[in-house]
Amino acid sequence: MSEPVIRLLQPADHPALAALMVEMQGHYRVPCPPVAEIRADLAALPAGVDILVAVKGEAILGFASACNLYPGPGLKSGFFLKEIYVADAARGKGLGRALMQALAALALERGHRRLDWTADADDPALLRFYESLGAVAQRKKVFYRLTGDALAAVAAGPE
């Protein structure tokens, strides 16, 4: 049986990736938009977003989504990993590591100087995985988010 191939997302992959994203939303117990909406969003990805997929036959077993950042160290570009997910049925087979390796190689190929991401602090297995790659937690950084009404209020400016 063949090994999964890691490659950039292609339009023909959208239905399979949308299905995996539905699984991911269920895994994290968060709301999921309709599949048609996911597929439309995949067809209209913003510039600078790259999605790597782990493909075996017709199935997508995992993906990693990253975007370009500027400026980074030395005023050079960087890559930000937004999401990495491996299908429940494919876990424990090295796909997460293979996706991270391919993402690191893509970052270097594109001239990026670093790869950044966030991780759930309450998932010790995940943190151990990232540390096994040689990643170092950045304890001096704090992650912020604007969403919903707060995002709209900032966009509207002072009243």
- Residues in CB range of 100: below 8 A, 6 or more apart: 64, 84, 133
Q: What is the pLDDT of residue 74?
A: 86
User: Distance between CA 115 and CA 108 in Å, rounded?
Assistant: 9
With H, G, I as helix, E, B as strand and everything else as coil, classify residue 89: helix
Q: What is the pLDDT of residue 97?
A: 96
The predicted model scores a pTM of: 0.91
Token representation of residue 88 = 């429940």
101 neighbors 135 (Cβ within 8 angstroms)? no
Q: What is the pLDDT of residue 2?
A: 74
Instruction: Quick: pLDDT tens for 107-128.
Output: 999 999 899 999 999 999 999 9
Query: What CATH fold (topology level) applies to the domain 5-156?
Result: Aminopeptidase (3.40.630)
Low-confidence residues in the chain, pLDDT < 50: 1
Q: What is the pLDDT of residue 47?
A: 93
What ranges in the chain are assigned the alpha helix state H?
A: 14-27, 35-43, 95-109, 124-132, 148-156
- Residues in CB range of 140: below 8 A, 6 or more apart: none
Q: What is the pLDDT of residue 108?
A: 94
Q: Which residue has the tokens 């995996």?
A: 20
DSSP letter assigned to residue 93: S
Q: What is the pLDDT of residue 89?
A: 94
